[in-house]
Amino acid sequence: MDLNSRIATDDEIKQRIEARKSAEVIFELAEQQANEVELPALFWRKLLEMCLTKTEKRIDQSRMKPMTDIEARRFGHTAIEFGEFVGQLVKDIPLDRLDWYGEHLFIDQLRRYLKSNYVKRERT
């Protein structure tokens, strides 16, 4: 059940408070570490990348709704801004490569795109 679509129980509220407190402690430690490294901006970029990678693996993909055909067509015309396909449109990239990118990069939108009926029809 989506936690944002209902009223949280007392236990859930306590868990959220504890999670926030733990995150604040971790962030303070990260700030201390960033002050000790030679390139703090690089430290923060890498930390953000690591956080996103770790949390993306925890997303429940079964809850993710596929894009509508309109959204999929629009997203399919998005140019890739990195890697071996830089400048190419999403719709022109081989689907097996998009599957790989879906596991590693612009995760949410690509996963929804790959679940869309538009792409399913393209695969058949």
Residues 76 and 99 in one domain: yes
2 is a domain residue: no
Residues 70 and 93 in one domain: yes
Residues 47 and 71 in one domain: no
Residues 52 and 96 in one domain: no
The separation between the first and the last C-alpha atoms of the chain, rounded to the nearest angstrom, is 33
User: What is the extent of the structural domain holding 78?
Assistant: 63-123
108 is a domain residue: yes
1 is a domain residue: no
Phi then psi dihedrals of residue 17, to 5 deg? -65, -45
> What pLDDT is attached to residue 23?
86
Total domain count, the chain = 2
pLDDT confidence bin for 103, thresholds 50/70/90: low
Residues 87 and 111 in one domain: yes
Could you give the angle at which helices 95-104 and 107-115 cross, rounded to 10 degrees?
140
pTM score of the predicted model: 0.38
> What pLDDT is attached to residue 89?
92
